Amino acid sequence: MFGIELSLVWAVLIAVAVFLYVALDGFDLGVGILFPFAKNARERDQMQAAIAPVWDGNETWLVLGGGGLFAAFPKAYAALMPALYLPIFLMLLALIFRGVAFEFRHHGRERGRKLWTVAFSGGSIAAAIAQGLVLGGFVQGIAIEGEVFVGGPFDWLTPFSLLVSASLVAGYALLGAAWIVFKTQGELAERARRWVKQLALLTALAMGAVSLATLGVDARVTERWGLTMTSVDWPVFIKLAPLPLLAGVILFLMWRGIEERKFLRPYLYAVCLFLIGYVGLAVSLWPFIIPFAMTPADAAAADNALQLMLCGALVMLPIILAYTAFVYWTFRAKVDDDAAYH
């Protein structure tokens, strides 16, 4: 249609949708993860108010990611979903609790309120853990024969996926803390600044650990990076070395942003950090849509389906991004000191 492979276009579009999900719902989930560290009910209210108007739109990117995978790559979807059955259901159940808690927390009385407070943070933590397990299970590859998943129900449960899971919890918490710095002020914002610093270090360590562990997942990854436990293939590695270096620079900038009391920058740097991890992952797994088993071309839907959807996406995505931006702009104020903006 445009002289490039349609399946590739869709692979990129879905990758972008998933990244937008991580960057946006990541801070929603992060706020939930940090809920237990709030000092009192008022702080928890502030934290929730910082995300209440936008969480639903953020979560829709997850539906686009899942729905897009179904529509554009039905074979990949059909192989992946049964393989990751249990962590996906854990995620869905967790998202149910977390999603309803936004409204329910304000309708519950004494005990109900406590229950939905716990459900909100518990749901956020469990959703992050489950997404980490899904990602870990995905990266390590799944057992496929022909086009069908043939492994067991717990194949995804490995030390590797648990490590990815823990890292994602730390990373989401970092996004959440940086968002709290952006959206609140006073004591809570001060504390969130400290959280950002601590979580930035933790996330950096976790990303390093996951990166090293990913090298061990498959010989093809090791080859791509030119790194083994004992030797470095410098000509290969030097081309990719900017990625970890850039991560270091961003970490430094984030630190300075916090010291200089910038509002939005820590969050943007945190997103950049995720982006680097994401690109690193893409480099490791390229050209597979299911690691080491299926490429986008193998899994793609019929061309006319991809074309029809591309027409829709080319028209709708700019509109969606425009009104999403409008909604964020509408709620640009800090949640605490409402009056100052009106």
Partner 1 sequence: MEWDALLLSRLQFAFTIGFHIIFPAFTIGLASFLAVLEGLWLLTKRAVFKNLYLFWVKIFALSFGMGVVSGVVMSYQFGTNWSVFSAITGSVIGPLLAYEVLTAFFLEASFLGIMLFGWKRVGPGLHFFSTCMVAIGTLFSAFWILSANSWMQTPQGWAWAEDGTMVATNFAEVIFNPSLPSRFAHMVLAAFLTTAMVVAGASAFALLRKKALAESRVALRMAVLMMALVTPVQIMAGHESGIVAGEHQPAKVAALEGWWTTRTQQPTVLIGWPDEEAERNHFELVVPGLGSVVNNAESEDVLPGLDQFAAEDRPPVWITFWAFRIMVGMGLVMLTLGIWGAGAWALKRLDAATWYHRALVLAAPSGFVAVLTGWITAEAGRQPFVVYGVLRTADAVSPVPAGSVATSLLFFIVVYSIVFSAGALYILRLIAKGPESDEPAPQSNQPPGTPLGAAIEEAP
Q: What are the structure tokens assigned to 167, written together? A: 């890292």
Please spell the DSSP secondary structure of 91-132, one letter per residue. HHHHHHHHHHHHHHHHH--HHHHHHHHHHHHHHHHHHHHHHH
- Out of 159, 229, 230, 342, the residue judged to bind partner 1 by CB under 8 A: 342
Restricting to residues 146-205, which ones interact with partner 1 according to CB under 8 A? 147-150, 152-153
Restricting to residues 92-121, which ones interact with partner 1 according to CB under 8 A? 92-93, 95-97, 99-100, 102-104, 106-108, 112, 116
Q: Which residue has the tokens 């964020």?
A: 328
Candidate segments 210-218, 239-247, 260-268, 314-322, binder of partner 1 by CB under 8 A? 314-322
263 lies in the binding site for partner 1 (CB under 8 A): no
Work out the number of other CB atoms within 10 angstroms of the CB of residue 10.
25
82 lies in the binding site for partner 1 (CB under 8 A): yes
| 33 neighbors 123 (Cβ within 8 angstroms) | no
Pick 49 or 209: Cβ nearer partner 1:
49
Pick 67 or 244: Cβ nearer partner 1:
67
Site size for partner 1 (CB under 8 A): 80
282 lies in the binding site for partner 1 (CB under 8 A): no
304 lies in the binding site for partner 1 (CB under 8 A): yes
Q: Which residues of 256-278 are buried (b: 16+ CB within 10 A; e: fewer)?
A: ebbeeebeebbbbbbbbbbbbbe
| 218 neighbors 291 (Cβ within 8 angstroms) | yes
Pick 66 or 244: Cβ nearer partner 1:
66
312 lies in the binding site for partner 1 (CB under 8 A): yes
- Out of 8, 16, 78, 279, the residue judged to bind partner 1 by CB under 8 A: 78
- Eight-class DSSP state of 339: G
Smallest gap from Cβ 153 to partner 1, in A, equals: 5
Using DSSP's 3-state secondary structure scheme, residue 227 falls into strand
Q: Say how far apart CA 154 and CA 165 lie, in whole Å.
A: 15
